[in-house]
Structure 1
Amino acid sequence: MNNSRTNWQRLKELTILLVGLGVIGIVVLVSGVFPIKASSGHWPITAWILDFASDRSVDFHSAGIESPPLDEPGMIRLGAASYDANCRWCHGRPGLPVPRVPAEMTPAPPYFPTATFDQEPRELFYIVKHGIKFAGMPAWPSRQRDDEVWPLVAFLKSFPEMDVATYLGHVQVSMETDSATKQLVADACASCHGAHGHGRAGDRVPVIAGQNREYLEMTLKAFKTGHRHSGIMEPIAARLDAAEIRKLAEYFSIQPAHPSESGADEPSSHPAEAKSRELNESEQTLYELGKSLANHGDGPQKIASCVECHGPTPIDRSVEYPRLEGQPAAYLRQQLHLFADQARGGTENADLMHGIASKLSDEQIDALALYYSH
């Protein structure tokens, strides 16, 4: 009997305590007495708890993510260009002090030029892709494009050893800016595409020199509205107005398709010798398959020939379709896989590619990419 009374008394006391704490919590919440000002920062124990919880969450949720090789040519440069366009406003860049406005945030974004990145690549990938709640760290603008996140991861892993000159060499291009259009090219495009559109950040970047003006304009508008998915291109295009988009499309459309004809000081990241090199036996077989698919399609699978829309043929095709000849194989492969997964988006004509790409095998995609890249 006494034990029953004791247990009942303890339960009663616990209930009163919980109700009291709840009432106190409601009073604090409704009254607004608890300060939310960023100027006071976090208490040390609060900062420790949040950091510990964040680290454990990232480690748990990133388990199983496999990193591709991060030493791919152009990978770091592409990541540097993406960082310079979108990240340095909060996290800083070599040669400049800590940005003043984000430095007053709570928590303040880390200043990356002096940071050490102890996280595994998979963990950095998870943070960049998904962001961090309550920290002002945004998610990657396009969830469909995991392939765009890895270059930024590669850049961040190399950042601690990067001096000012190396950083600027990645993100700045020497070019004459004797007109408003060329200044716009230097500011918005050249770090990835080069001064003349032949590319300088590896085979993940398309060649836009000599591309159809109408297609370039439609594509930039699709990036601007988010109809074509890209965490790299969407923020850049969003900052362009209609007149600037027209100027950029016109500029790159009249650039010679071959780098040697443009007078460019900086070589393309897609050198002609790599495209024209002699193929080995297995590559030659794959090339012939791609040539057949591109020119004749596949009747049994109801796949139309690529040249009907994308060339190359003696007859000019619709200016609303991109020219594929000379594009990097890696870029073409990625685009076809995105089309097959309906994860690319694009202009109003993009839906036409979903039914075609979804019928292609991995071998056929590799074959078409190899054929058009050569």
Structure 2
Amino acid sequence: MKKLIAGVVLGVGLTAMAHGAGDPEAGEKSAAGCVACHGAGGAKPMMGAYPKLSGLGEKYLYQQLVAIKEGDRQIAEMTGLLDDMSNDDLQDLAAYFDDQDMTVQQADPDLVDEGQAIFRGGNLASGVPACSGCHSPQGDGNAPAGYPRLGGQNAEYLEKQLKAYRDGERDGGQNAFIMMDVAAKLSDSEIEAVASYISGLN
């Protein structure tokens, strides 16, 4: 019994380290180079097509940084920016951005009803699952699973990413195939509506 309890404690401890291993203070120094595109704390990008990085989830952020560095996720604007960073540096950077507060946008009132219906209930007719199933009803994500926080994210960025998943342009990373399957069933109007709704979700 003691061995079983020790194993569970050790497993929980290792899981906690895996999901929160970075040092936000160390990551803040590296984040200075990100301000030009993503704004202070990653919360106010210079363009709507750029993502907010604040509060997305350390595991998700780390996975994306690694994928970008290794070329599994191609982002022209990020080319070469992470080349000199170690995995520890990327973990610290992820921890820093996750530690920042996400600011919330204002959803388009004309799109709220459709967007909310898709986010909370999906589309039974076309087989679209509810976004809230993985990303939580409040859009807070699921940090241990590596599912990012969505609530407050730029609508323009969300639209761009959903279309990239749908078109097979974003196919790298652990959960890409889940999102590719979901996005393949979304119309342009549904993508616009759910992206707008999510941008105002808190």
What are the superposed Cα offsets for residues 295-325 of structure 1, whole Å, 9 maximum, x if unpaired?
A: 0011121111001111234997353011111
Q: Distance in 2 between matches of 1:352 and 1:185?
A: 30
Query: Aligned letter for 1:292?
Result: A
| Contact 2:122–2:129 (CA under 8 A) maintained in structure 1 | yes
Query: Aligned letter for 2:106?
Result: S
| Contact 1:223–1:346 (CA under 8 A) maintained in structure 2 | no
Q: State the Cα distance separating 1:211 from its structure 2 match.
A: 1.4
Query: Aligned letter for 1:231?
Result: A
Give the match for residue 78 of structure 2.
233
| Percentage identity across paired residues of the two chains | 33
Q: 1:316 to 1:325 in 2, by over 3 A?
A: closer
Unpaired runs of 5+ in structure 2? 1-24
Q: Are 1:255 and 2:100 matched, yes or no?
A: yes
Query: Aligned letter for 1:239?
Result: D
Q: TM-score if structure 1 supplies the norm length?
A: 0.44
Q: State the Cα distance separating 1:216 from its structure 2 match.
A: 0.4
Larger radius of gyration: 1
Q: Are 1:182 and 2:28 matched, yes or no?
A: yes
Q: Distance in 1 between matches of 2:75 and 2:62?
A: 16
Q: Any residues of structure 2 matched to 1:26-105 within 5 Å, and which?
A: none
Q: 1:203 to 1:218 in 2, by over 3 A?
A: same
What are the superposed Cα offsets for residues 177-226 of structure 1, whole Å, 9 maximum, x if unpaired?
A: xx653331113x11111231112311111111111000000010011111
Work out which structure has the larger RCO, using CA pairs closer than 8 Å and 6 or more positions apart in sequence. 2
Q: Are 1:297 and 2:127 matched, yes or no?
A: no
Give the match for residue 222 of structure 1.
67
| Contact 2:57–2:98 (CA under 8 A) maintained in structure 1 | yes
Give the match for residue 361 of structure 1.
187
Q: Distance in 1 between matches of 2:192 and 2:71?
A: 28
| Counterpart among 333, 341, 345 of residue 171 in structure 2 | 345
SS in 2 for 1:326: coil
| Contact 1:229–1:343 (CA under 8 A) maintained in structure 2 | no
Give the match for residue 37 of structure 2.
192
Query: Aligned letter for 1:276?
Result: Q
Give the match for residue 22 of structure 2.
none
RMSD: 2.0
Q: 1:244 to 1:313 in 2, by over 3 A?
A: same
Query: Aligned letter for 1:356?
Result: V
Give the match for residue 4 of structure 2.
none
Give the match for residue 328 of structure 1.
154
Structure 1 residue ranges (4+ consecutive) displaced by more than 2 angstroms after TM superposition: 179-183, 311-319
| Contact 1:217–1:246 (CA under 8 A) maintained in structure 2 | yes
| Contact 1:307–1:313 (CA under 8 A) maintained in structure 2 | yes
Give the match for residue 14 of structure 2.
none
| Contact 2:73–2:173 (CA under 8 A) maintained in structure 1 | yes
Q: 1:186 to 1:329 in 2, by over 3 A?
A: same
Q: 1:215 to 1:316 in 2, by over 3 A?
A: closer
Unpaired runs of 5+ in structure 1? 1-178, 259-271
| Counterpart among 118, 137, 141 of residue 312 in structure 1 | 137
Q: 1:314 to 1:323 in 2, by over 3 A?
A: closer
Query: Aligned letter for 1:346?
Result: G
Q: TM-score if structure 2 supplies the norm length?
A: 0.79
Q: Distance in 1 between matches of 2:141 and 2:158?
A: 21
Q: 1:190 to 1:211 in 2, by over 3 A?
A: same
Give the match for residue 54 of structure 2.
209
What are the superposed Cα offsets for residues 136-185 of structure 1, whole Å, 9 maximum, x if unpaired?
A: xxxxxxxxxxxxxxxxxxxxxxxxxxxxxxxxxxxxxxxxxxx6533311
Q: 1:342 to 1:305 in 2, by over 3 A?
A: same
| Contact 1:311–1:325 (CA under 8 A) maintained in structure 2 | no
- Aligned pairs, number: 175
Q: Distance in 1 between matches of 2:79 and 2:137?
A: 29
Q: Are 1:276 and 2:102 matched, yes or no?
A: no
Q: Distance in 2 between matches of 1:337 and 1:317?
A: 22
Q: 1:185 to 1:316 in 2, by over 3 A?
A: closer
SS in 2 for 1:232: helix
